[in-house]
Amino acid sequence: MGRDVDRAAFSREDRVRYRQKVRRCLDVFALMLDDFGFDADRPMTGLEIELNLVDPSAEPAMRNEEILAAIADPLFQTELGQFNLELNANPRLISGAGFTDYERGLLGSLSRAGERAARSDTRIVLVGILPTLTERHLVADNLSTNERYRVLNDQIVGARGEDIELDIRGVERLRTHTDSIAPEAACTSLQFHLQVAPDSFADYWNASQAIAGAQVAVGANSPFLYGRQLWAETRIALFEQATDTRPDELKAQGVRPRVWFGERWITSIFDLFEENVRYFPPLLPICETEDPVEVLHAGGVPELAELRLHNGTVYRWNRPVYDIMNGRPHLRVENRVLPAGPTVVDMLANAAFYFGLARGLAEADRPIWSQLTFSSAEENFHAAARRGMDAVLHWPRLGEVPVTGLVLDVLLPIAAEGLDGFGVAPAERDRLLGIIEQRCRTGRNGAVWQTATVWAAERQGGLDRRAALHHMVQRYAELQGTNEPVHTWPID
């Protein structure tokens, strides 16, 4: 939900009008899917990276407005917390040396931003959850000043009608309450966008759901929150709980959560937008002046602003996207399961694994979703978030299998074939998928490195947990600057 909001309160009439407009947009969208010319000739990809700002002692730096002004680059935007920024890479084709182009662009943008942040004694860190965050940091006063975040907070907390409970049981346990959505700001993610044709969207979305567990297991990078070691990818549990609009009674009634894996394989992108309208009341009932029916009948491209805004307040781990570029509409899968970091090259390895695997499975002769139950895909996702590289996942014809073996023996060859289908240069393919392979062979991703470094600082260095976390974040930031993949980082 990236648009600005200039209203703090909504009337009953606003909500009724918005609901009617969303349904009108949905009807128009159905007509467009039947016979409209969507842009799908050369499928583009995109990346979004959420960033953390830290001060010289590795504490979160509540300075995003100041740093954003200093960076003065439209690729950077605010995010939920004052210690967050977001970097949007320019969309690209990944054929040929597309990944190298991404790498060069991201390193350049981050280097320039880092230089400007350094003038304010601030450093940029790419990590799923900043390990030095505490409860005193994640409060409403530290939300970004953009009014849309305040309004979203008020709507979510108001819909729930009571404090939000966080209860995450991992290696250790965290149980606390919050009166705002500020803890969500701890969840800094890496998001992939993949443009697809309408008639193949369902295949790519289903494939993305099926591989979410494997993605999270090898890419986990969020083991600490509020000083406790929780899940390998704690970000999953935190995001699900920190934006939950349901009190216990609605949970017991089976009301769907707004952070949602889903509940079934789909046959069309329409299924997802229709579920949004059917299951989720509006959070931000803001209507635009466009009549999408009139625009469509006049031969134009409807913005469908209300449908898109509503979609932006339903936080699927794989989200459908309708967008318009250069006057032509297109559809994208937005893959949201992964954390930021540890390095640019690690993130691009994750990208290559996702894009290749999604294509390889979407175009397979026998669809994976015809062999894997949806509930198994969801169970894989949460098992991977809890256990990371140690997860055991269910896979057709293999049964229960360690994720590292599944990736090495089954998924990496499929990903390589998918990247070949995109026309990725073989050297690019092998370099990036080789990083995923080595993570599996060494058993080390970002979460493993973080926990091992903290344990070493505690047991060998004699530091308490708080000091060990600060030491680890400072060392993490140093190694991140090398752009060497995390499986090669020393534990010291």
Q: CATH no. for residue 218? A: 3.30.590.20
The answer to whether 263 and 374 are in contact (CB under 8 A) is: yes
What is the rounded CA–CA span in Å between residue 259 and residue 267?
A: 21
Q: Is residue 24 part of a domain?
A: no
> ∠333-438-389 over CA atoms, to 5°?
65
| Whole-number percent of the chain with pLDDT over 70 | 98
The answer on pLDDT for 221 being more than 60 is yes
Per the structure, the complete domain to which residue 373 belongs is given by: 36-261+317-488
3-state helix, strand, coil in the chain (%, to 5): 50, 15, 35
Query: Beta-strand (E) ranges in 90-221?
Result: 123-125, 164-169, 173-178, 189-196
pLDDT of residue 486: 98
- Which of 174, 178, 283 lies closest to 237 in space, CA to CA? 174
- Give the span between the Cα atoms of 401 and 459, in whole angstroms: 32
**pLDDT-derived band at 40, boundaries 50, 70, 90:** confident
* The pLDDT of residue 7: 54
- For residue 48, is pLDDT > 80? yes
> Per-residue b/e over 94-119, b at no fewer than 16 CB within 10 Å?
bbeebbbebbebbeebbeebeebbee
pLDDT score of 227 more than 90: yes
The answer to whether residue 484 is domain-embedded is yes
Q: Sort strands 84-88 and 228-229 into parallel, antiparallel or unpaired.
A: unpaired
Residue whose C-alpha is closest to residue 212's, from 398, 453, 376, 443: 376
Which tokens in the block code for residue 111? 């280097």
> How high is the mean pLDDT of the chain?
95
Among candidate residues 163, 187, 133, the one with its CA nearest the CA of residue 244: 163
Give yes or no for residue 3 having a pLDDT over 80.
no
pLDDT confidence band for 6 (50 / 70 / 90): low
CB atoms within 10 A of CB 37: 10
Average pLDDT of span 6-10:
64
Instruction: For the chain, report the end-to-end CA distance as a whole number of angstroms.
Output: 40
Number of structural domains the chain divides into: 1
158 or 414: whose pLDDT is higher? Answer: 414
pLDDT tens-digit series, residues 242-283:
999 898 899 999 999 999 999 999 999 999 999 999 999 998
The values of phi and psi at residue 128, to 5°, are -65, -50
In a domain, 423, yes or no: yes
Residue 1 pLDDT: 43
Least Cα distance to 318 among 152, 196, 186 occurs for: 196
> In angstroms, what is the C-alpha Rg of the chain?
22
| Inter-residue contact 124 to 71 (CB < 8 Å) | no
User: Is 99 inside any structural domain?
Assistant: yes
Please give the Cα distance from 269 to 188 (Å, whole number): 27
Residue 105 confidence (pLDDT): 97
Q: Which phi and psi angles does 144 have, rounded to 5°?
A: -60, 155
* pLDDT higher than 60, residue 2: no
Look at residue 199 and tell me whether its pLDDT is greater than 50: yes
Token digits of residue 452: 């091992």
pLDDT beyond 60 at 291 = yes
Is residue 2 situated within a structural domain?
Answer: no
More confident residue, 192 or 2: 192
Please tell me what DSSP assigns to residue 223.
Answer: -
Rounded average pLDDT over 52-75:
96
Residue 8 lies in a domain: no
Give the model's pLDDT for residue 5.
54
In a domain, 306, yes or no: no
| 30 domain-assigned | no
Residue 165 corresponds to which tokens in the numbers above? 């409970």
Count Cα atoms within 13 angstroms, Cβ side, for 94: 32
Strand 315-316 to 259-260 pairing? parallel
- Could you tell me if 129 and 187 are in contact, meaning their C-beta atoms sit under 8 angstroms apart? yes
**pLDDT tens string 361-390:** 999 999 999 999 999 999 999 999 999 999
